[in-house]
C-alpha cells in the first residue's frame, strides 16, 4: 500500500465514523465486505410472472413469487415543491438513512437547450435541462414520502454513485461546450458534481476529477479514492486520488488504469484470469479533446494511452462491494454483449468476472449495484425485448431477476404504448438489503421492490 493510501485510509476512517441519524451508512458499506457463497443448484428466485404495482394497479414488472413493489415520481408528476418531474430517470443511489427514512438521489439524463428545472442556486447552466432529484422513502412503512430538485442546469446526467459521506456524485456523459473554457461565455460540460443529501447542490463542477464522457463512479471507503468510468468505444478506467479524502473540492490527481501486458481488453473472454495493474497520471484532466480540430472527445483517454494505459469498450456501471470495485463494459466481450470486471484495490489486480456469450444471455449491461448480501444487480440497456434485470453472484453465475412489462393501454402523463424495451437504470439497495430501488428510463419510473431476498442470491 502506498503512503498516500495509508494516510488516506486513516483520515477517511476518522471522517466516516459518525452516525447518520438512527443508522450508519458507513456500516452499510462495511456489510458489503461479506462474500456470498453461491449454490449453483439454486441460483434464481424462481419463475417470473406479472405483478401489479401497489401504486397504480398496473402490471408493470415480471417478478418472482413473493416480491412486490410500488412506483413513485413518474416523468410529469408534480414534486413536493411543485416542480414537474423531469424525464430520463437514470443512475441512482441511497445516500442517507435517518430513523428508517432513506434519501435517494436520482439522475435525469437530459440534453439539449432547455431551461434548468431546479431552483436558481442549484443551476450550473441555465440553458441545460439535466440534473438530479432527491427522493425520500420510509423503509419501515414501505412508503414513498416526497421528491424535490437537487441539481440542475447540467447535461446528460447518466450515472454517478453514492459516497460514504452522505452525498451523490453526478456525472455528465458529454463534453459539450467550447473546446477551451476561455473561448466564449458558453459553459463547458463533461464534469462531476457533488449533491448533498440535504439542501441543494452548489452546482460547482469538480474539475480536477476530469472532463470526459463520464458514466459512473465508485468510492473505496478504506481510502476515499474515487473510481470513474468512461462511456466511449475507446474508454479508460480512471481513479481520482483526493488531497483530502471526503473533500473532493480540495482537488487531487486523476489517473488511468494500465493493465500490465494488456493494452486492449475490449474483446477479452479470459474469465477468472488475474492481471497485475498500475496507474498512469493524466497531466491535463481538463482537456476534453486531444485534437481540438476534430473534437474527438478523447483528451484524457489519449493522454493515458500515450503512457501505456489500457483500452476498454464503453465502461458504464461502477460500484464498490465485497472489498472490490466492480464495473462493466457495455459492449465488451467476444459478442460485444457485455463484460463484468472486478478490480481489487488492495492487490492491484483486475479480473474478468463474466463475459456475455450473446445478447440473449446478457444484453449490454449498464448500471450495476452490489447487494449487502454480496450479489450484483445488472441493468440491461440493449436490443432485446423485454429488457431484464439480472443477478450475478460474486463467483460469476448469472440469473434473471425481473423483466420490464410496461405496456400502457391508457395515457399516463403523455405516455402511451409498449415500453418493454426501455432500459433499466439506477439499481441500488437499502442499507439493510430489504429494498431494491431501480428506474426504467422511459417513460421514467422509479420502483421500490421488496420480497424474500433470502431465497436467492441477491
Q: Is the pLDDT of residue 18 over 90?
A: no
Q: Is the pTM of this model over 0.85?
A: yes
pLDDT at 292: 93
Question: Which segments of 356-397 are extended strands (E)?
Answer: 365-370, 376-380, 388-392
Three-state SS at 325 = strand
CA distances from 257 to 171, 251, 340 (A): 19, 19, 16
Structure-model confidence comparison of residues 180 and 214, the more confident one: 214
Q: Which domains does the chain have, with CATH numbers?
A: 3-455 (2.120.10.30)
Please tell me the distance from the alpha carbon of residue 107 to that of residue 160, in angstroms, as a whole number.
8
Q: How many CB atoms lie within 10 A of CB 308?
A: 13
HEC profile of 58-83: CCCEEEECCCEEEEECCCCCECCCCC
Where does the pLDDT of residue 7 fall: very low under 50, low under 70, confident under 90, or very high at 90 and above? very low
**pLDDT tens digit string along 393-434?**
999 999 999 999 999 999 999 999 999 999 999 999 999 999
Nearest Cα residue to 92 out of 29, 152, 157:
157
| Average pLDDT rounded to a whole number, residues 209-218 | 98
pLDDT tops 60 at residue 24: no
Grid cell at residue 145:
414520502
pLDDT of 129 over the 70 cut = yes
Query: pLDDT tens digit string along 255-284?
Result: 999 999 999 999 999 999 999 999 999 999
Q: What is the pLDDT of residues 355-370, one digit of tens each?
A: 999 999 999 999 999 9
CA atoms within 13 A on the CB side of 111: 12
What confidence tier does 350 reach under pLDDT thresholds 50, 70, 90? Answer: very high
Residues 140 and 101: their CA atoms lie apart, in Å, by 8
Q: 146 forms bridges with which residues in the sheet?
A: 136
CA dist list (Å): 288 to 184, 212, 234, 364:
16, 6, 14, 26
Asked whether 231 and 367 are in contact (CB, 8 A), the reply is no
At 43 the pLDDT is 80
The 10s digit of each residue's pLDDT in 72-98 is: 999 999 999 999 999 999 999 999 999
Mean pLDDT of 153-175: 97
What is the structure's pLDDT at 4?
A: 43
Residue 415 C-alpha cell reads as 405516455
pLDDT of 114: 81
Amino acid at each position: 500500500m502506498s503512503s498516500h493510501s495509508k494516510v488516506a485510509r486513516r483520515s477517511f476512517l476518522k471522517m466516516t465514523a459518525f452516525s447518520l441519524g438512527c443508522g450508519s451508512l458507513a456500516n452499510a458499506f462495511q456489510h458489503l465486505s461479506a462474500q456470498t457463497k453461491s449454490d449453483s443448484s439454486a441460483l434464481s428466485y424462481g419463475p417470473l410472472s406479472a405483478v401489479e404495482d401497489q401504486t397504480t394497479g398496473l402490471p408493470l414488472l415480471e417478478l418472482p413469487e413473493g416480491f412486490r413493489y410500488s412506483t413513485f415520481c413518474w416523468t410529469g408528476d408534480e414534486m413536493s415543491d411543485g416542480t414537474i418531474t423531469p424525464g430520463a430517470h437514470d443512475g441512482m443511489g441511497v445516500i442517507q438513512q435517518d430513523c428508517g427514512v432513506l434519501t435517494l438521489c436520482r439522475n435525469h439524463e437530459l440534453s439539449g437547450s432547455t431551461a434548468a428545472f431546479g431552483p436558481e442556486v442549484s443551476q450550473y447552466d441555465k440553458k441545460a435541462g439535466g440534473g438530479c432529484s432527491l427522493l425520500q422513502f420510509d423503509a419501515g412503512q414501505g412508503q414513498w414520502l416526497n421528491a424535490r430538485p437537487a441539481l440542475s442546469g447540467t447535461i446528460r446526467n447518466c450515472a454517478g454513485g453514492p459516497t460514504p459521506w452522505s452525498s451523490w456524485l453526478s456525472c455528465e456523459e458529454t463534453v459539450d461546450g467550447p473546446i477551451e473554457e476561455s473561448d466564449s461565455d458558453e459553459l463547458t460540460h463533461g464534469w462531476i458534481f457533488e449533491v448533498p443529501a440535504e439542501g441543494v447542490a452548489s452546482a460547482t463542477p469538480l474539475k480536477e476529477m476530469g472532463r470526459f464522457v463520464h458514466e459512473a463512479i465508485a468510492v473505496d471507503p478504506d481510502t476515499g479514492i474515487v473510481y470513474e468510468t468512461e462511456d466511449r468505444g475507446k474508454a479508460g478506467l480512471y481513479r481520482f486520488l483526493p488531497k483530502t479524502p471526503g473533500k473532493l473540492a480540495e482537488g487531487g490527481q486523476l489517473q488511468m488504469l494500465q493493465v500490465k501486458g494488456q493494452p486492449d481488453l475490449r474483446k477479452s473472454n479470459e474469465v477468472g484470469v488475474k492481471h497485475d495493474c498500475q496507474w498512469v497520471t493524466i497531466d491535463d484532466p481538463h482537456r476534453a479533446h486531444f485534437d481540438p480540430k476534430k473534437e474527438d472527445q478523447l483528451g484524457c483517454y489519449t493522454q493515458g494511452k500515450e503512457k501505456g494505459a489500457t483500452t476498454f469498450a464503453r465502461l458504464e456501471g461502477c460500484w464498490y462491494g465485497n472489498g472490490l470495485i466492480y464495473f462493466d463494459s457495455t459492449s465488451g466481450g467476444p459478442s460485444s454483449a457485455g463484460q463484468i470486471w472486478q478490480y481489487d484495490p488492495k492487490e492491484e489486480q483486475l479480473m474478468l468476472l463474466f463475459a456475455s456469450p450473446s445478447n440473449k444471455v446478457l444484453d449490454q449491461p449498464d448500471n450495476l449495484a452490489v447487494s449487502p448480501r454480496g450479489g450484483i444487480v445488472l441493468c440491461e440497456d440493449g436490443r432485446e425485448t423485454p429488457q431484464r434485470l439480472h443477478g450475478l453472484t460474486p463467483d460469476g453465475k448469472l440469473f434473471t431477476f425481473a423483466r420490464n412489462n410496461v405496456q400502457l393501454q391508457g395515457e399516463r402523463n403523455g405516455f402511451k404504448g409498449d415500453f418493454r424495451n426501455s432500459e433499466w437504470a439506477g439499481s441500488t439497495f437499502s442499507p439493510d438489503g430489504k429494498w431494491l430501488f431501480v428506474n426504467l428510463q422511459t417513460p421514467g419510473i422509479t420502483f421500490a421492490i421488496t420480497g424474500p431476498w433470502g431465497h436467492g442470491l441477491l
